[in-house]
Amino acid sequence: GNSVTQMEGPVTLSEEAFLTINCTYTATGYPSLFWYVQYPGEGLQLLLKATKADDKGSNKGFEATYRKETTSFHLEKGSVQVSDSAVYFCALVGSSASKIIFGSGTRLSIRP
C-alpha cells in the first residue's frame, strides 16, 4: 500500500541555517504530495503541495519539489527563523484514494 517515510527528529538548528527535511514515498499511480505543519498546541496546517511530477510547491520561504524518479518530496528552507519551530508532516493522497497518509512527523527546533 501507499506509505510515507520521513526523516526522524528532532532536528535542532540555529536561526538563519539551511533546512532540509527528507521525505520519500511509496505509491502506485500518481499521488499528490503535501507538507503540513503543526505549531505547538494547534492543529495541522497545509504548508505546501504538489500534484504532479516536477511540480514545486512553495510557501513562507519553504519549498519542495515532486521528484518521481527518486520518489521524494524533500522540504527545504534557505534561512530558518525561531518562528519555524514546529512539527512537520509529509503526506500523500493516492490517485484513487480519498484519505491522506501522513509520515511520522519531524520536530524542528530553531535556536535564536
Partner 1 sequence: DSGVTQTPKHLITATGQRVTLRCSPRSGDLSVYWYQQSLDQGLQFLIQYYNGEERAKGNILERFSAQQFPDLHSELNLSSLELGDSALYFCASSVGGRAESSYNEQFFGPGTRLTVL
Residues 83-102, interacting with partner 1 (CB under 8 A): 89, 93-95, 97-102
- Find the part of the chain contacting partner 1 (CB under 8 A) among 15-23, 36-44, 56-64, 67-75: 36-44
Quick check: 43 binds partner 1 (CB under 8 A)?
yes
Size of interface with partner 1, in residues (CB under 8 A): 23
Residue 98, amino acid? S
DSSP single-letter state for residue 108: E
The CA dihedral of 52, 55, 60, 61, to the nearest 10 degrees, is 150
Quick check: 103 binds partner 1 (CB under 8 A)?
yes
